[in-house]
Amino acid sequence: MRRAVILQHLDREGPGFIADLCSARGLATDILRLDLGVRVPRTLDDGDLLVVMGGPMGVGELEDPRFPFLAPEVELLRAGLARQRPILGICLGAQLLAHAAGSRVYPNQRRDADGLLRPSPEVGFGEVRLLGLDAEPALAGLPARLPVLHWHGDTFALPVNAVRLAESDTCADQAFRLGFNAFGLQFHVETDAAMVRRWAEEDSAFATSALGAGGPAAIMAASEAAVARMRDPGMRLVDNILDAMTGTSQRR
């Protein structure tokens, strides 16, 4: 039976509806809790999909003994790219995928009024602009502006030969495709409102650093309505990507 192998780095950052969409396709969902000591697979079976989720750690911490899973993940991703395996990276997963493809991962920055580059974490509900709507099957049926949840401080340079799929004013590289079946999404669409509220509570220091003292409360207050707007187009996006990853189409 084909599997979706999902690498999870933190309890609160699970796959959300991505696991449901995989199960609906008849894929066995194998969620590996790397934070609990489950080892990163050295290889994947033929036909397996790899999904790499988010987390507060980063590519700059590959050698940090607190996160012994990061370096093996990069090796698995490199091998997967070399073998043209189907891969989906979400947030940290997209950064690890870009790094495995040879690109730089670095703190997201913007110039201030004096022209100086300052750290610019992107946190909270917002939108990304989709690029290539008429040409990219992964973007079929989606609006030009996609509602998403941002929760990142780092970003990446677009890998060589990658196709940029989305951008925002704060972060130019929001999504990309490598080949036909490897995708990176810097943003989140897979979350439900309860997950978002938990992030705002448990990661409040990060949200506050980006949005100010009222940031976590504002995210919590907006979560129900914002997730309701995000859910259908977000599911369509992931479904389209799974079409590309599996070589099938579930839409009629």
Q: For residues 55-86, b (16+ Cβ closer than 10 Å) or e, as one string?
A: bbbbbeebeeeebebbebbbebbeebbeeebb
Does residue 134 sit within a domain? Answer: yes
201 is catalytic: no
Give the contacts of 20 (CB within 8 A, at least 6 positions apart): none
Q: What is the mean pLDDT of the chain?
A: 95
Residue 247 and residue 244: Cα distance in Å, rounded?
5
Does residue 88 sit within a domain? Answer: yes
Catalytic residue chosen out of the listed positions 13, 22, 91, 171: 91
Residue 215 and residue 68: Cα distance in Å, rounded?
32
91 is catalytic: yes
Other residues' Cβ atoms within 10 Å of the Cβ of residue 3: 16
pLDDT of 251? 45
150 is catalytic: no
- Asked whether the predicted pLDDT for residue 26 surpasses 50, the reply is yes
At residue 249 the predicted structure's pLDDT band, cuts being 50, 70 and 90, is low
Are β-strands 105-107 and 87-90 bridged in parallel, bridged antiparallel, or unpaired? unpaired
pLDDT digits (tens, 9 = 90+) for 188-221: 999 999 999 999 999 999 999 999 999 999 999 9
Question: What residue numbers bound the domain in which 120 lies?
Answer: 3-246
pLDDT of 248? 67
Please give the average per-residue pLDDT across 61-70, as a whole number: 97
Question: Which helix or strand (DSSP H or E) is residue 202 part of?
Answer: helix 193-202
Are β-strands 3-8 and 49-52 bridged in parallel, bridged antiparallel, or unpaired? parallel
Question: Which helix or strand (DSSP H or E) is residue 126 part of?
Answer: strand 122-130
Catalytic residue chosen out of the listed positions 99, 150, 152, 188: 188
Does residue 252 sit within a domain? Answer: no
Residues in the chain: 252
Catalytic residue chosen out of the listed positions 13, 122, 127, 190: 190
* Domain count within the chain: 1
CATH number of the structural domain spanning residue 10:
3.40.50.880
